[in-house]
Homo-oligomer: A and B are copies of this chain.
Amino acid sequence: MKIQYSTTAQHLGSSAVRDILKITQGKNIISLAGGLPAEELFPLEAIRDAYSRALSAGPSILQYGLTEGYGPLREQLVERLEGQGIPAAASGMLLTSGSQQAIDLLCKILLDPGDAVLVEAPTYLAALQVLGSYRADINIVLSDEQGMLPEHLEHQLRKLKPKLLYAVPTFNNPSGASWSRERREQVVELCRRYEVLILEDNPYGEIRFDESPDAYPPSLAAIDRNYGSGYGVVYTGTFSKIVAPALRSGWITGDPQLIQMVAKAKQANDLHSSAIDQCALSELLRGFDLSGHITAISREYRSRMQLLSAEIRSRGWEDIRFLEPRGGMFLWLTLPEEIHTAELLPLAVQQGVAFVPGEVFYSAQPLRNTMRLNFTHTPPELIAEAVSRLETALEQYRSQVSGVR
């Protein structure tokens, strides 16, 4: 039977990252491509205990639940976010299947085809996919190392009258960059002035490499709070990176009326997310030292990042630039202009190492000489070997290019 797909289906891209993961699965390939946390650091025992407790309180946890999610976990999250200066109320807190679903549902209730949206370049690939599926008019705001450039942001706000600004201002995926406090304040102020909603996507914000308490600026949502009434920022987070991804538990918080509309969309989408996973997380938050766990994984990730960074620097590769991120999961390399990383990838995979070509993280005008390297998933003892394989692939690529041209 011949199937005629919807216009939306025709605008659904596949994830380059997931395609690369599929290619590399089961092969002797060191993958720096995924965005995966380290399995060996998952608090498996504590999670198992939490599920056991969740399923010991009687059968009602197995029943259909509220679309908004398991009440006690929502309350714990509200308290946690309040502790981070983020305005949250139980009535404006919805649990989702990872923060991915939060992004999708928010776009669903806001965006008509052609609506303008502002993003950074580069930015989270799967957010670009979602925006593409709703046929948004995706526009870039230029950035430097401090974050979005206020002048260009204002230019775009004035010119495009966008519906939404989407950003990962803290340890961005893929660039690892983090906005300065001043830029955060300027972005919030400008979006307030032009009445443009911000979606702050913060999956990595707690993976911090500097342990001094004042090392990092507040979130956009916390800054927005200074404006008093109204919510200029919708904030989404997830347990995927600080506990484990398989629980698929994220949240979205903001203006209660807006969140109620997100809940309506979620109701039609899947009624609610797994109440067992949510109840287990609630139990975990009660007994387990999550802050201590986050500190421990952040130290290990910092150590892996430093190892990867040192390995790359030690090779003395010509004209390769990167900044060491101050948190998160990714190192972003800018290579010499003649190196197209998408063409480099097959050679690298042949050598037994994978990465994500930077071009997939751009909605337009990609920098083809960039790549994203993940440092959280690969065991430390394999990092030197991964960089050596990448080096071999680079040499092959250079000799091919000079041979052809």
**Residues in chain A within 8 A of chain B (CB atoms):** 1-9, 12-15, 18, 34-37, 39-40, 42, 44, 47-48, 51-52, 55-56, 58-65, 67, 96-98, 100-101, 104, 108-112, 115, 126, 129-130, 133-134, 163, 192, 195, 197, 230-232, 240, 244-248, 255, 257-258, 261, 264-265, 267-277
Complex: how many Å from CA A3 to CA B255? Answer: 10
Give the contacting residue for A273; candidates B7, B55, B248; CB below 8 A.
Answer: B248
Please name 7 further chain A to chain B contacts, defined as beta carbons within 8 Å, in addition to the given A9-B109, A9-B110, sorted by A numbering.
Answer: A3-B255, A8-B109, A8-B112, A44-B59, A52-B52, A62-B244, A63-B246
Complex: how many Å from CA A67 to CA B115? Answer: 28
**Is the CB–CB distance between A270 and B97 below 8 Å?**
yes
Copies in the complex: 2
Q: List, in ascending order, chain B residues with CB within 8 A of A8's CB.
A: 108-109, 112, 265
Complex: how many Å from CA A13 to CA B263? Answer: 11
Give the contacting residue for A108; candidates B9, B100, B195; CB below 8 A.
Answer: B9
**Is the CB–CB distance between B276 and A1 below 8 Å?**
no
Q: List, in ascending order, chain B residues with CB within 8 A of A7's CB.
A: 112
State the Cβ distance, A268 to closest chain B Cβ, in Å: 5
**Is the CB–CB distance between A97 and B273 below 8 Å?**
yes
Q: List, in ascending order, chain B residues with CB within 8 A of A44's CB.
A: 55, 58-59, 62
Complex: how many Å from CA A247 to CA B55? Answer: 12
Q: List, in ascending order, chain B residues with CB within 8 A of A245's CB.
A: 62-65
**Is the CB–CB distance between B130 and A268 below 8 Å?**
yes
Q: List, in ascending order, chain B residues with CB within 8 A of A258's CB.
A: 3
Complex: how many Å from CA A111 to CA B44? Answer: 42
Give the contacting residue for A5; candidates B12, B58, B100, B110; CB below 8 A.
Answer: B110
**Is the CB–CB distance between B64 and A34 below 8 Å?**
yes
Q: List, in ascending order, chain B residues with CB within 8 A of A268's CB.
A: 12, 100, 104, 126, 129-130, 133
**Is the CB–CB distance between B276 and A247 below 8 Å?**
yes
Complex: how many Å from CA A277 to CA B257? Answer: 31
Name A97's closest neighbour in chain B (CB-CB): B270
Assuming the contacts A48-B56, A246-B276, asked whether A1 and B67 have C-beta atoms less than 8 A apart, the reply is no
Sample (15) of A-B pairs whose CB atoms are under 8 Å apart: A1-B231, A6-B112, A8-B265, A12-B261, A40-B59, A44-B58, A63-B245, A63-B246, A97-B97, A98-B271, A101-B270, A133-B265, A246-B274, A247-B276, A248-B275
Complex: how many Å from CA A402 to CA B34? Answer: 70
Give the contacting residue for A6; candidates B36, B64, B109, B244; CB below 8 A.
Answer: B109
**Is the CB–CB distance between B62 and A52 below 8 Å?**
no
Complex: how many Å from CA A175 to CA B247? Answer: 36
Complex: how many Å from CA A14 to CA B268? Answer: 9
Name A44's closest neighbour in chain B (CB-CB): B59
Complex: how many Å from CA A6 to CA B113? Answer: 9
**Is the CB–CB distance between A246 and B65 below 8 Å?**
yes
Q: List, in ascending order, chain B residues with CB within 8 A of A269's CB.
A: 100-101, 104, 269
State the Cβ distance, A139 to closest chain B Cβ, in Å: 18
Those 6 A-B pairs whose CB atoms lie nearest each other, nearest first: A62-B244, A9-B109, A97-B270, A246-B275, A101-B270, A48-B55
